Every structure is written in structure tokens, then in C-alpha cells.
């Protein structure tokens, strides 16, 4: 009888129970949405100091390109002359423009497998500089590669994607110049490259003047290209179509060096931050509260995409700051680089500060080696060759040998002697 009464009461009040269940579900869903919205609008980054820890592998990746840019600049200057050579006295005053770290003569003498000095067979001639046969052959290979149509089409798309990171689809030339080497643009891209792609680019006035009162010009994308508006991160995951936009929970790769340990409260914040929705860097998300966690994830995504477009997956810190200031990010770029050492690494090698995309490297080796980087590594190989008693040897092996020689005075003598034999084999 009691069971029958209970059943009767339950059936009479079934609509109430149904509404109550729906209400509980509604409250739970609404609470989740409100919490998620607040996470997008508020700042929850913990007030903890994130220490900088040296990464020897990424430092080596940066250091191996020491003096590469000035060397290529000098090479191009020499080859721009009809005789493919230049008097030393012509090169010396150009030291600041070429960014040479020392005098022109000393710089040239440091790389005997790239540059050769000689005196023309005329009376009272001065010292001249030309390329060695090996360097000239490598330059010809590089020129042939840079002229390939598929490479130039890929480069045009990369440059277009850079412009698409801006709201106005355009950038002043002074910003593009900063990234010219890292993008792989020809040194005379204004004349030799841009005219090939009128359907992509047009030169425009930026609408403001420089400090000297001269009109600032820039490069503008002719039209938005939806097929290019896909970030590297989005290509890696299966996207969910939400309201016609690709917005999924994408987590950035985190690679911390040995000895780096985030405090627990920072680790917890990073974990929650990683779970926030990913907003494409090709979207305009300036409507977000600038100090919110969601805005920071979008900012990190913009920097990540920028570095992914570069052939070496790294660039000088000032280049990123310059772009960020022009785009209106201001200090937000600086904060993003500091808050996320597992995504970006700051190297202070080769007399500058370089931002490296960690996921682009396996130790000190590029994961995806761009064909242009293969060319540049061949130049680096020539740079590392020096003459010792008239015999060509590897300069890196010589430096390593000196370190081993000094360490022989300590322990592990047998192990060091074995390494010494390996170094001798490299020198030959």
C-alpha cells in the first residue's frame, strides 16, 4: 500500500520533477557559459616570477649563423660590380651598412674559403676582394634556386599571409625590411619580385609621415585570400565548424629545457590557459579585453604564426616588437614572450636578442628545413673552414679540440683522449 501511494504521488508530480531537472541543467549550463565568458574577459595570470633558463641547443642553433647576414651582404655587394670584385678601400667605409663586426680586411681574412684578396696586374694597384670558386659556385646555385617559379609562388603566399596578419592587409616597407632576410625575400624584391605578382600586391601610401616629414609607403594585399587564412596550428588539428568559423581547443606545443621547472601555480594557470578556445591569428580579436587570458592566447597565436612563416623559425626580438607596435599590440607582445618560455625561447647570442620558436627545432636542428636554409647552411660550412699550415680544416673542430685539451688536465682522461681522436678525424 505504501508503495502504491508513493507511486501515485510521483506520477502526480512528474511534470514538476521534469521542470526541476531541466532547471538544474539550465543553471549548470548557464554557469559554465558565464564562467567561460569571464575567463575570456578577465586576467588570471599568477603573480609569479618566471625565470629564464639557458637552452644550449637553441643557443647553438642561433650561434651557428653568426656573421652569416653580413657575409651574404658583402658577397652580394661584390657580385653587383661588373668585374665581380671590389677594391678593399671601397668596402671599408661601408662597414656600418654591411653590419660588419670588425674591420673589412679582418672580416674577409676570417673566411678564406669565401673571399680571396688579390692585386690586379697593373702598377700601383690596391688590394681587391673577390669570391673564391667554391663561393661563386654556391652563389650560382642559390641564384638558380631563387629563380624557380614554384619557390617564388610559395614566397608570394608567405608574404601575403604576413600582410593578412594585419587588420588593414598592409604593412609599411620599414617593417617588411626587418623581416626580409628571415622571409627569404630577394634583396631587391621591390624590382625583381613584386612586379611578378600584381594579383597579390600593390604599393600604397600608408597615410602617415616619418620623422623627416616624408610620406611613408608600404605594401598592400590586393584582396583577402581565404584559402591562405589558415594558421599552422589549425592545419594540425581537425577543426570543428562552430557558427561558420573554425574555433577549436588547440594546445600549443610546450618544450622546456632541462633544469626549467615552473612553479605549481604557474603550471596550473598554463594548463587552464591551454584549454581556452583558439582564435585564428587571421581573425581580428581586438574586441577582447586586452589583459584577458583569451586575448593573450590570441596574441601568442599571432607571434607563433609569424615565426612559423620565417624560413629559420626565428628572428630578432626587436623585429617582433616593431611589428607588434605597428599592429597595436604594444606591450602585449612583450608579455606574451615572457609568460610562455615553453613556446618561445630568447637567446642572447651573436650580439643581439633572438626569439626562437621552440617547436621548430629538435635540439639545435630545424625540424622542417626550408630549401633556402639548406643553401645558407652550405655558406656556413664554407665559413667554418679555415687554413692551418696551408691545410683546410673545420674551425669548429679546432675550437672543440682546444676545450678538450684543457679538460685533459682533469678527470676522464681516457674518454677525452677518445674524443680527441674523433676531432682529428674531423680536421682532415
pLDDT digits (tens, 9 = 90+) for 101-151: 999 999 999 999 999 999 998 887 899 999 999 999 999 999 999 999 999
Q: What is the pLDDT of residues 241-258, one digit of tens each?
A: 544 555 557 899 988 877
Q: Could you read off the pLDDT of 55-114 as tens digits, one per residue? A: 999 999 999 999 999 999 999 999 999 999 999 999 999 999 999 999 999 999 999 999
Q: Which three cell numbers stand for residue 293?
A: 587570458
Spans of all domains in the chain: 65-132, 148-229
Rounded Cα–Cα distance for residues 186 and 192 (Å): 8
**What do you get for the CA distance between the two ends of the chain, in Å?**
102
Cell numbers at residue 104, please?
A: 673589412
Please give the pLDDT value at position 424.
Answer: 52
* Closest alpha carbon to 261 in 48, 403, 87: 48
Cα separation values, 180 from 111, 119, 377, Å: 25, 35, 18
H/E stretch holding 366:
strand 365-366
Task: Check pLDDT > 60 for residue 192.
Answer: yes
Where do the H-state alpha helices sit in 43-148?
56-63, 68-79, 88-91, 95-98, 104-109, 133-146
Going by pLDDT thresholds of 50, 70 and 90, the confidence category of residue 18 is very low
Half-sphere exposure in the Cβ direction for 305 (13 Å, CA): 31
Over range 13-35, report the average pLDDT: 42
Mean pLDDT along residues 276-283: 96
Express each pLDDT in 354-385 by its tens digit.
999 999 999 999 999 899 999 999 999 999 99
Q: What is the pTM of this model?
A: 0.80
CATH class of 65-132: mainly alpha
Quote the Cα angle for 367-372-378, to 5°.
90
pLDDT of residue 360: 96
Cell 656600418 found at: 96
Amino acid at each position: 500500500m505504501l508503495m502504491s501511494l508513493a507511486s501515485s504521488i510521483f506520477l502526480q508530480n512528474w511534470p514538476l520533477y521534469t521542470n526541476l531537472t531541466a532547471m538544474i541543467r539550465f543553471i549548470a549550463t548557464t554557469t559554465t557559459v558565464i564562467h567561460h565568458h569571464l575567463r575570456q574577459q578577465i586576467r588570471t595570470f599568477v603573480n609569479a616570477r618566471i625565470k629564464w633558463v639557458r637552452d644550449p641547443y637553441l643557443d647553438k642553433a642561433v650561434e651557428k649563423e653568426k656573421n652569416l647576414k653580413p657575409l651574404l651582404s658583402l658577397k652580394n655587394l661584390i657580385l653587383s660590380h661588373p668585374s665581380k670584385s671590389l677594391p678593399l678601400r671601397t668596402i671599408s667605409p661601408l662597414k656600418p651598412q654591411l653590419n660588419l663586426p670588425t674591420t673589412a680586411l679582418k672580416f674577409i681574412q676570417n673566411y678564406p674559403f669565401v673571399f680571396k684578396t688579390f692585386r690586379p696586374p697593373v702598377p700601383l694597384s690596391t688590394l681587391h676582394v673577390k669570391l673564391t670558386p667554391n663561393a661563386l659556385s654556391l652563389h650560382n646555385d642559390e641564384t638558380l634556386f631563387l629563380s624557380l617559379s614554384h619557390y617564388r609562388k610559395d614566397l608570394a603566399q608567405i608574404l601575403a599571409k604576413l600582410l593578412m596578419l594585419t587588420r588593414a592587409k598592409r604593412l609599411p616597407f620599414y617593417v617588411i625590411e626587418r623581416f626580409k632576410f628571415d622571409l627569404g625575400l630577394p634583396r631587391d624584391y621591390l624590382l625583381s619580385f613584386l612586379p611578378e605578382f600584381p594579383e597579390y600586391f600593390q604599393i600604397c601610401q600608408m597615410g602617415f609621415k616619418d620623422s623627416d616629414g616624408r610620406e611613408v609607403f608600404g605594401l598592400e594585399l590586393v584582396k583577402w585570400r581565404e584559402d591562405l587564412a589558415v594558421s599552422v596550428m589549425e592545419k594540425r588539428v581537425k577543426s570543428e565548424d562552430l557558427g561558420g568559423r573554425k574555433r577549436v581547443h588547440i594546445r600549443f606545443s610546450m618544450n622546456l629545457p632541462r633544469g626549467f621547472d615552473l612553479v605549481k601555480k604557474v603550471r596550473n594557470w598554463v594548463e587552464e590557459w591551454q584549454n581556452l578556445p583558439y582564435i585564428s591569428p587571421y581573425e581580428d580579436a581586438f574586441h577582447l579585453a586586452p589583459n584577458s587570458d583569451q586575448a593573450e592566447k590570441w596574441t601568442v597565436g599571432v607571434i607563433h604564426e609569424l615565426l612559423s612563416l620565417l624560413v629559420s623559425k626565428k628572428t630578432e626580438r626587436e623585429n617582433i616588437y616593431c611589428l607588434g607596435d605597428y599592429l597595436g599590440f604594444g606591450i602585449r607582445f612583450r608579455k606574451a614572450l615572457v609568460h610562455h618560455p615553453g613556446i618561445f625561447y630568447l637567446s642572447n647570442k651573436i650580439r643581439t636578442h633572438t626569439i626562437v620558436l621552440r617547436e621548430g627545432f629538435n635540439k639545435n636542428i630545424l625540424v622542417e628545413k626550408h630549401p633556402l636554409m639548406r643553401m645558407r647552411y652550405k655558406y656556413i660550412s664554407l665559413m667554418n673552414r679555415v687554413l692551418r699550415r696551408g691545410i683546410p680544416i673545420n674551425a669548429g673542430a679546432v675550437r672543440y679540440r682546444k676545450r678538450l685539451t684543457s679538460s685533459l688536465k682533469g678527470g676522464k682522461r681516457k674518454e677525452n683522449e677518445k674524443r680527441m681522436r674523433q676531432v682529428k678525424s674531423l680536421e682532415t
